[in-house]
Amino acid sequence: MPTERKCAGVLKTIRWGSRMEKLACLRCHSNKVKKHGRYRKHYNRYLCNSCGRTFNDLTGTIFEETKLKVKDWIYIIKEFAGTASKNAVHKESGINYGTVGRVVGIVLSSVEARQLLEKLTGDVIEIDEMYMSVGSKGTRQTERKPRRRGLRLRGRGTGDKDKPPIVGVTVRAAP
Protein backbone atom coordinates (compact mmCIF):
# COMPACT_ATOMS: atom_id res chain seq x y z
CA MET A 1 0.00 0.00 0.00
CA PRO A 2 1.16 3.55 -0.69
CA THR A 3 2.77 5.66 2.00
CA GLU A 4 1.20 8.90 3.20
CA ARG A 5 4.05 10.75 1.51
CA LYS A 6 3.18 9.13 -1.82
CA CYS A 7 -0.51 9.88 -1.32
CA ALA A 8 0.31 13.52 -0.63
CA GLY A 9 2.39 13.80 -3.79
CA VAL A 10 -0.25 12.25 -6.02
CA LEU A 11 -3.04 14.25 -4.45
CA LYS A 12 -1.14 17.52 -5.01
CA THR A 13 -0.53 16.63 -8.64
CA ILE A 14 -4.20 15.81 -9.22
CA ARG A 15 -5.31 18.97 -7.51
CA TRP A 16 -2.74 21.57 -8.40
CA GLY A 17 -1.04 20.16 -11.49
CA SER A 18 2.43 18.70 -11.88
CA ARG A 19 4.08 22.11 -11.54
CA MET A 20 1.54 23.50 -9.10
CA GLU A 21 0.33 25.65 -11.99
CA LYS A 22 -3.30 25.24 -10.94
CA LEU A 23 -2.68 26.34 -7.37
CA ALA A 24 -5.05 29.19 -6.60
CA CYS A 25 -6.86 30.60 -3.62
CA LEU A 26 -9.97 28.61 -2.75
CA ARG A 27 -11.84 31.79 -1.85
CA CYS A 28 -10.84 34.46 -4.39
CA HIS A 29 -9.10 32.32 -7.04
CA SER A 30 -6.02 34.53 -7.01
CA ASN A 31 -2.82 32.76 -7.97
CA LYS A 32 -0.80 34.98 -5.65
CA VAL A 33 -0.50 32.12 -3.21
CA LYS A 34 2.59 31.10 -1.31
CA LYS A 35 3.46 28.14 0.89
CA HIS A 36 2.71 28.78 4.52
CA GLY A 37 4.03 25.88 6.57
CA ARG A 38 3.04 22.24 6.76
CA TYR A 39 -0.21 20.45 7.48
CA ARG A 40 -0.51 16.94 8.89
CA LYS A 41 3.22 16.49 8.21
CA HIS A 42 3.09 15.65 4.49
CA TYR A 43 0.83 18.39 3.21
CA ASN A 44 1.37 22.09 2.56
CA ARG A 45 -0.49 25.02 3.97
CA TYR A 46 -0.89 28.06 1.76
CA LEU A 47 -1.52 31.75 2.27
CA CYS A 48 -3.31 33.90 -0.30
CA ASN A 49 -1.63 37.27 -0.65
CA SER A 50 -4.72 38.75 -2.23
CA CYS A 51 -7.35 38.01 0.40
CA GLY A 52 -5.41 36.59 3.33
CA ARG A 53 -7.10 33.22 3.42
CA THR A 54 -5.06 30.20 4.47
CA PHE A 55 -5.82 26.71 3.25
CA ASN A 56 -4.05 23.40 2.75
CA ASP A 57 -3.82 20.55 0.29
CA LEU A 58 -6.78 18.79 1.86
CA THR A 59 -9.06 21.80 2.31
CA GLY A 60 -12.33 21.28 0.51
CA THR A 61 -11.66 17.63 -0.24
CA ILE A 62 -13.33 14.62 1.29
CA PHE A 63 -10.10 13.81 3.12
CA GLU A 64 -10.67 16.50 5.69
CA GLU A 65 -13.91 14.78 6.67
CA THR A 66 -12.03 12.51 9.06
CA LYS A 67 -8.72 12.64 10.88
CA LEU A 68 -7.76 9.46 9.08
CA LYS A 69 -4.63 9.49 6.95
CA VAL A 70 -5.23 9.43 3.22
CA LYS A 71 -3.35 6.13 2.98
CA ASP A 72 -5.88 4.66 5.39
CA TRP A 73 -8.68 5.77 3.10
CA ILE A 74 -6.95 3.92 0.31
CA TYR A 75 -6.48 0.89 2.52
CA ILE A 76 -10.14 0.77 3.48
CA ILE A 77 -11.35 1.08 -0.08
CA LYS A 78 -8.92 -1.49 -1.41
CA GLU A 79 -9.85 -3.99 1.27
CA PHE A 80 -13.50 -3.27 0.89
CA ALA A 81 -13.27 -3.64 -2.86
CA GLY A 82 -11.68 -7.01 -2.25
CA THR A 83 -15.02 -7.92 -0.68
CA ALA A 84 -13.83 -7.71 2.91
CA SER A 85 -16.68 -6.60 5.11
CA LYS A 86 -16.61 -3.35 7.06
CA ASN A 87 -16.22 -5.40 10.19
CA ALA A 88 -13.27 -7.33 8.78
CA VAL A 89 -11.54 -4.10 7.74
CA HIS A 90 -12.21 -2.70 11.19
CA LYS A 91 -10.77 -5.76 12.92
CA GLU A 92 -7.70 -6.07 10.72
CA SER A 93 -6.74 -2.41 10.71
CA GLY A 94 -7.96 -1.27 14.09
CA ILE A 95 -9.70 1.65 12.38
CA ASN A 96 -12.94 2.56 14.09
CA TYR A 97 -15.90 0.69 12.57
CA GLY A 98 -17.96 3.85 12.16
CA THR A 99 -15.05 5.55 10.41
CA VAL A 100 -14.74 2.67 7.97
CA GLY A 101 -18.41 3.04 7.16
CA ARG A 102 -18.14 6.79 6.67
CA VAL A 103 -15.13 6.43 4.40
CA VAL A 104 -16.87 3.87 2.23
CA GLY A 105 -19.97 6.04 2.01
CA ILE A 106 -18.06 9.18 1.10
CA VAL A 107 -15.99 7.46 -1.55
CA LEU A 108 -19.11 6.22 -3.27
CA SER A 109 -19.93 9.79 -4.20
CA SER A 110 -16.46 11.22 -4.63
CA VAL A 111 -14.74 11.73 -7.96
CA GLU A 112 -11.57 12.85 -6.15
CA ALA A 113 -11.31 9.67 -4.15
CA ARG A 114 -11.78 7.53 -7.23
CA GLN A 115 -9.11 9.47 -9.12
CA LEU A 116 -6.67 9.15 -6.27
CA LEU A 117 -7.21 5.45 -5.91
CA GLU A 118 -6.78 4.98 -9.64
CA LYS A 119 -3.50 6.91 -9.73
CA LEU A 120 -2.09 5.18 -6.69
CA THR A 121 -3.06 1.61 -7.38
CA GLY A 122 -3.86 1.37 -11.07
CA ASP A 123 -7.33 0.17 -10.23
CA VAL A 124 -10.40 1.73 -11.72
CA ILE A 125 -13.49 2.31 -9.69
CA GLU A 126 -16.70 2.44 -11.61
CA ILE A 127 -19.88 3.89 -10.29
CA ASP A 128 -23.05 2.49 -11.71
CA GLU A 129 -26.35 4.10 -11.10
CA MET A 130 -29.41 2.01 -11.19
CA TYR A 131 -32.88 2.37 -9.90
CA MET A 132 -34.96 0.10 -7.80
CA SER A 133 -38.28 0.59 -6.14
CA VAL A 134 -38.53 1.21 -2.43
CA GLY A 135 -40.62 -1.92 -2.14
CA SER A 136 -37.69 -4.11 -3.09
CA LYS A 137 -35.09 -2.14 -1.17
CA GLY A 138 -33.00 -4.49 0.88
CA THR A 139 -33.93 -7.52 -1.14
CA ARG A 140 -31.46 -9.30 -3.30
CA GLN A 141 -31.39 -8.13 -6.91
CA THR A 142 -31.40 -11.36 -8.81
CA GLU A 143 -32.32 -9.92 -12.17
CA ARG A 144 -29.13 -7.92 -12.54
CA LYS A 145 -25.87 -9.70 -11.94
CA PRO A 146 -22.58 -7.89 -11.30
CA ARG A 147 -20.73 -7.66 -14.56
CA ARG A 148 -17.34 -7.95 -12.97
CA ARG A 149 -15.78 -9.35 -9.90
CA GLY A 150 -15.78 -7.11 -6.90
CA LEU A 151 -18.18 -5.88 -4.37
CA ARG A 152 -21.38 -4.20 -5.29
CA LEU A 153 -22.49 -1.62 -2.83
CA ARG A 154 -25.89 -0.14 -2.57
CA GLY A 155 -26.77 3.25 -1.23
CA ARG A 156 -29.73 3.71 1.00
CA GLY A 157 -32.77 5.40 -0.43
CA THR A 158 -34.63 7.83 1.73
CA GLY A 159 -38.00 6.61 0.67
CA ASP A 160 -38.95 10.15 -0.36
CA LYS A 161 -39.31 9.07 -3.94
CA ASP A 162 -40.65 5.92 -5.41
CA LYS A 163 -37.37 5.04 -7.06
CA PRO A 164 -34.37 6.41 -5.16
CA PRO A 165 -31.09 6.24 -7.06
CA ILE A 166 -29.00 3.32 -5.98
CA VAL A 167 -25.29 3.47 -6.52
CA GLY A 168 -23.25 0.39 -7.13
CA VAL A 169 -19.48 0.38 -7.13
CA THR A 170 -17.20 -2.05 -8.87
CA VAL A 171 -13.45 -2.01 -8.56
CA ARG A 172 -11.41 -3.79 -11.16
CA ALA A 173 -7.74 -4.04 -11.87
CA ALA A 174 -6.52 -1.89 -14.72
CA PRO A 175 -5.76 -3.89 -17.87
Residues lying near Zn ion in the complex (CB under 5 A) are found at 25, 27-28, 30, 48, 50-51, 53
Considering beta carbons, is residue 27 or 161 the nearer one to Zn ion?
27
Q: Which residues pair with 52 in a beta bridge?
A: none
Q: How far is the CB of 52 from Zn ion (least distance, A)?
A: 7
Q: How far is the CB of 68 from Zn ion (least distance, A)?
A: 28
Q: Rounded CA gap, 102 and 97, in Å?
A: 9
Considering beta carbons, is residue 52 or 146 the nearer one to Zn ion?
52
Strand 54-56 relative to strand 123-131: parallel, antiparallel, unpaired? unpaired
Q: How far is the CB of 61 from Zn ion (least distance, A)?
A: 18
Q: How far is the CB of 59 from Zn ion (least distance, A)?
A: 12
Q: How far is the CB of 48 from Zn ion (least distance, A)?
A: 3
Helix (H) or strand (E) holding 38: strand 33-39
Q: Rounded CA gap, 73 and 76, in Å?
A: 5
Considering beta carbons, is residue 26 or 151 the nearer one to Zn ion?
26
Alpha helices for 40-123 (secondary structure H):
70-81, 86-93, 97-108, 111-121
Closest CA to 138 of 105, 164, 120, 174: 164
Considering beta carbons, is residue 5 or 27 the nearer one to Zn ion?
27
Q: Are 125 and 171 in contact (CB under 8 A)?
A: yes
Considering beta carbons, is residue 52 or 165 the nearer one to Zn ion?
52
The distance in angstroms from the start CA to the end CA of the chain is 19
